[in-house]
Amino acid sequence: MNEQASGHRAGPVRSAAARDAILAATARLFQGQGYDHLTIEGIAKEAGVGKQTIYRWWPSRGALIAECLTDGRLIPIDFDVPYSGDLLRDVEEWLGSVLAILETPHGAMLLRSLVAAAAEDAEVGDHLSASLGVDRHLAERLAAGIRDGQLAADAPVELLGHAVLGTIIVQSLTRRPDVAGALRELVRYLVAAR
Amino acid sequence: MNEQASGHRAGPVRSAAARDAILAATARLFQGQGYDHLTIEGIAKEAGVGKQTIYRWWPSRGALIAECLTDGRLIPIDFDVPYSGDLLRDVEEWLGSVLAILETPHGAMLLRSLVAAAAEDAEVGDHLSASLGVDRHLAERLAAGIRDGQLAADAPVELLGHAVLGTIIVQSLTRRPDVAGALRELVRYLVAAR
DNA sequence: TTGAGCATACGCGACGTCTCGTCTAGAGAC
DNA sequence: GTCTCTAGACGAGACGTCGCGTATGCTCAA
């Protein structure tokens, strides 16, 4: 009568293959066509899966996207910030690798899609900045900069990370050219010795 | 045979009443229900107008939103930055009036809707930062701060404006509490004498 | 024998196009 | 001036399509 400690019960267990196929298809279609144009039926067909199998496990399109994000399936690269001792140089290098992706038309579309998804779904929003490495990597690197005396002790590192990410987003939403140059100028100002 | 220089032609001219009813209905529904849930058919019904009258003049939902933005129908308040001579105080006051709107649940939803619309439609993106007064007012006030010697001469005022706006957006997308406190801390850091 | 899985039908709502009939306002003849 | 003529805007809504989320079989593995 009692379930075992491991949580066993009668009947088959959730198919890892189906889960993986669904998430992979979601990521593929999301990157290929953007958030609008992403449909549950399209995902089901692409994954070779019944619609109900998706609805059984995910309540919404947003939840699907959020899980792809945490699985690292939407932003395959892990943007970590190098540590050479020179804060400005390291941050600029991080920025370069982020922008190298985001400045392609495909990357710009990807970012806008992520923003659209985040605006619509709270769960996606929660994971957005983390997935771009802003929380884990950039803020940490800035904090190290404070320890090294290269940044003011009262600098709000977390907020500066969000400010950089936010600037990228604004530039992207307003379809500015030369995002890279502008961003470099901004971080140079933000990180400049005070 | 030739049309007159004024571009006259036979037949009735575009109805200003219909245009106004449509834009007013769009703004009303946008603010009431958000960008998703905003439908052309709903707008037509709300405005007491045929669908075709909308499709005749606007190619997309985004174009409709963009026109509401430039008409000042979505963000009725014009957030201009005061000039007291004290840069930090003025910027914080501007921030306060912006956040007073954005921190209500309704305002937060409005901002997320604007971001979603901007992510989906380039035309909306073009007008987003302008409508929040970031371009016209904040950047100008920062520039005046440089003239007054209260901000570094090399400060990229336009970018700082986008950084503040971007931070607001990121905080909003990630559903952070205490946006106001965080933002105040950020601008205090950005505007601090160097 | 239970429940995950695939497949598919269903009602619903919104899409964007199209076609009605009505109405309006400039153009051209008188 | 007045009186048609006509292009085109307008409200209304039907149309086919698409995707939604739900419901119902049926198969198969644990």
Residue B1's pLDDT is 34
Mean pLDDT across B60-69: 96
Asked if the Cβ–Cβ distance from B159 to A186 is below 8 Å, we say: yes
pLDDT digits (tens, 9 = 90+) for A46-83: 999 999 999 999 999 999 999 999 999 998 788 899 99
Domains and CATH numbers, chain B: 16-70 (1.10.10.60), 87-191 (no CATH)
C-alpha distance from residue B111 to each of A13, A46, B71, B124 (Å): 42, 34, 17, 13
C-alpha distance from residue A86 to each of A11, A90, A93, A137, B69 (Å): 58, 6, 11, 15, 44
Residue A193: is its pLDDT beyond 70?
Answer: no
**Which nucleotide lies nearest residue A14, CA to C1'?**
C4
How far, in Å, CA of B56 to CA of A49, rounded? 41
Asked if the Cβ–Cβ distance from B163 to A163 is below 8 Å, we say: yes
Chain D: nucleotides below 7 Å from protein CB are: 5-14, 18-25, 28-30
Chain C: nucleotides below 7 Å from protein CB are: 1-9, 13-19, 23-28
pLDDT digits (tens, 9 = 90+) for B40-62: 999 999 999 999 999 999 999 99
Burial (CB count within 10 angstroms: exposed 0-12, middle 13-18, buried 19+), residue A56: exposed
**Which nucleotide lies nearest residue B15, CA to C1'?**
D9
Mean pLDDT across B146-158: 94
- Which stretch of A11-15, B147-151, B155-159 has the lowest confidence by average pLDDT? A11-15
- Read off the tokens for A148: 């090294």
Chain A residue numbers touching B164 (CB-CB < 8 A):
163
